[in-house]
Structure 1
């Protein structure tokens, strides 16, 4: 549950008092008379109240009531010191843990966040009192009777999971009796640090902030100044300001003014704490984001995963730092000193040098194997060897040479294949060439010649079908021709002759026969140049004669028929004197 949800509860339960000491104690159990139940909570609450804490406590409260009590720590002014004691049942999944309030049964991973208190949220609340926050977690033991154990749903495991307290928070775990006893006795001893309180308490485990030089509760002032003692009141105010500022400079300023003051020992201890406390030592280094990222990269390089290289020392980075410290002879605090950063940097540089040397060794080995294989294939004297080399070493030392030689071989093969196709000069030959050399140097010429052959073959078939139809000279024969060649060179002539034979068009008794038309054209004695000019004129007039190369093929004959029909001339498809004269009148140039 996020802080924002708890803050809503705090608005109802928290007082407007300033920075004071506060405690929240929650217990859960089925037997209130048991020493693991309300009796321990009550004793701890009484002891903390006697030490000056404002205490709220409850036993077997529902979840909303528990959140409201916990929200009492969220007043506008954070408590100077805060104690949170949770005793009873806990559960965890992955990196998260929860405290299970009274009456809760069978929470699963899907609903545990709404039904229980997240220890992450509990510690976040405690972190509002850095250096003065203690979270006490009393768990039920494994020998709890079966009928008193909580049933858990899918994905949730009983007990505490991994604990990673935030900065300035101390977490202490143990059995419920041991935790309650610690809260009611040792925790309220004045002038002692948390590590001193834990001496001899072997049944307890502590995590997070544990400075031996920072007292949790200050010693009582031996002589309480009278209300009218203005000098003593000024000293108390100066000390309070030093505590609120909590810097070396603030404590030194207090000592300069009150070297033998009532709080002088605590001021000196706080100054020593800045010099010895790992967290403060690292904070004093004022590491930039770039410096933190370099440290994270060094840790990852050394095999300590930080769960990100982002310049933020979160739980993953702190865990990595602790592992590195523990494995290299340092106290595993999770916070770095300048000397440790220097050592880590030197170790990482040595590892980088090792990696660079290993990469160079591997590169030398790759080069040796590369050269040896090149020699084995005869230094690329044949196509198969060159292709085998490039398959194994596409970026090898001899890859450029191999590709150049392959280009030469492929060029020679390409030319030889083209020469064979050109010599055969058939559709099949050019198709074989294109199948083997789709992008070859002669592919364009092969496609062009293939197209010519296809056209020529089509024209020949068209002409043969026309000759067959004309020889039969029946409506059925012309119909067969038109079925096979609806757009053929002779299609217009076929349709007219078919219509004439079926009485669909008037028969012109004075029509010129094809033989007569052929003879008339031959009598003109047109040479190839003249024929080319005729084709050019047909093209210019928009009658599409096909290629203008001086060969009167089917396309030319069809164009001549369309021209003659358009000009009112006898439609024969052959050039006679009348047709030639009309072309001259239309602009046909006469050859010289």
Structure 2
């Protein structure tokens, strides 16, 4: 259901301006398609203070694109004659780095060609340029949120093309409303000095030595004459009958005769544990890295978050809910500090358990590896060595097995070359005799090539710069015969 749109000063948009100085304060803390932005509508509370120093103020809380445009179009009309201009926008923004848009409560998820329901910040800057030197744009948004809207857009504010004479200040919502109250709407208040003394605020664009938008002795401006807009808003709030609708009504009409009843109905609805839990988690101000850590802990504990990206989407909320059920908490899908602390303790224990399990598995694998080596590879032979390598290609003895298998393969090839020579027993005895005569001990001269004979052949081959395989091949036989008959 579309959230209730609240407008504090729209009922007489056609009325002429009563002052030359204009201010617009727009805050959106509740969206149809996005998480809420805590404190985004608080800047509207500074409206009366701005009126007291001569500004004609229009405000809008949780407004639709249609109502937001109407407020800003009115500002565009007033800007032609204004001496001072102030615009405050607090909520969610989208940027492609070169352009930035302010998202209204009914904005869809931004796409490169789908930003018709958002407000161009560049256009707002153009309007402010009508009062150079006395123009201020205040932007309030979550400084730690860089969520992606696809490959082309992200949340936040990009590079701003700021016209000459326009000052831009940005920071968290709870910081910019203090700026409006204590510097912009304070007689003699210096915006530049205030920002310099608050490291959580940032300033861009026109930065003179001092920027005073409310000189001493500023005359207050009465609010525009209006019919009581709270009547229609109250009817809409009752029809919606949601906590959001009553809260929005109270924000926009705190002094309405219906405000007391709205608070009573809101109190009843806010007993919902899920809503209380959401507000509690919002109050933790978790950074994206802290959210990643929570997702990692949930995953380690066996709860699937469908990604570890620092964004608490449906997968993470479902995982939190499952964890809460398993630990006897009300399954709200929102966390408080005590739950995070308990989850952290469980994660640390589970990490230690996993490390112990991995060590036991490693020891077991090593034991099995050694046992199989003793059964196969340690006995030698190509079949045994291959059997070991097939089961343990990266085993403890894998390198040793490959070297041994290579040697067995080389011996088999050398044996095949010797067999191909068809050496008869007489020639074998001649070879043994010649080896003995040359000082290489082949053992008993009996025409059988045993271990001693193989060693003598290898030593002879080495002495003649031949391949020392221990087997007779054509070059070795030719050299032996030459040594025998060529003397």
TM-score, with structure 1 as normaliser: 0.32
TM-score, with structure 2 as normaliser: 0.39
Bigger relative contact order (CA 8 A; separation at least 6): 2
User: Which protein has the bigger helix share?
Assistant: 1
